[in-house]
Structure 1
Amino acid sequence: MPLTLTLTEGVLPKGSERHAVEQITTAFLKHHGLLGNRTVGANVTATVHVLPKEATFAGGVPVAGAWVEWKVPSFAFAEREVQRGFFAEATSIIHDLSGGVQPKEHIYINVLHAVDGGWNMNGQAMTNSEIAAEASKG
């Protein structure tokens, strides 16, 4: 379940990207009731992209921003309570790691869902029910 964290250069202090990924991953697992689940935890991956200030925009004008994007099976983030809780926590993580400087209105979060059966775990295409069966093993 890949996380893509994209940041404008300078939004977070250099070197703190790892802490952002760790905390956002923990929040994802916590809000889905999967904290400590080794099967799911091992399949939460991340990439970090730090872009120059002249390469990030909102409303067509330059902005210093942070973008948190998940690609997940269609059952993830399906409950409104999970969405609200995770989005608030992830926003606070970025804001806090920025030293309180990054405006919350320039922290953007979205979720992309894979079609059922369009998910790969352990080199095998899996349906939602197959993922759930694997996740139930802990």
Structure 2
Amino acid sequence: MLKGFRDFISRGNVVDLAVAVVIGAAFTQIVNAIVNGLINPLIAAIFGEPNLAAVGNFTINEADFSFGLVLAAVFNFLCVAAAIYFLIITPINKLREMRASEPEAAEESVPPEDIILLREIRDSLRDRV
């Protein structure tokens, strides 16, 4: 049973997921600092409110509605998604493309031995006819 657990933990997907969660938590702090340090003061300067959550609030029959709270959540999500895409996904994809293109060029220049042998057999049979 312990061997199965060890195999599960040491599998690449589990380790990658754990790393992603830790990196995501740390990255969230960066995005929150950008939002609180730069964007919220900009919103305060434009709308006269301390943050986006305070924009668009109204009350109907003692029920409080806040469009700003929804906008703040959407904005935070878009900031995190854009930062992850441009700072993590795009560089990793470019790195994978570079690694994938290098072996192909080497393989194309020198065909495998069995292909060379098959070509020689083909050429020999062609010359007989």
Question: Which structure features the higher share of strand residues?
Answer: 1
TM (norm. structure 2) is 0.25
Question: Which structure features the higher share of helix residues?
Answer: 2
TM (norm. structure 1) is 0.24
Tell me which structure has the larger Cα radius of gyration: 2
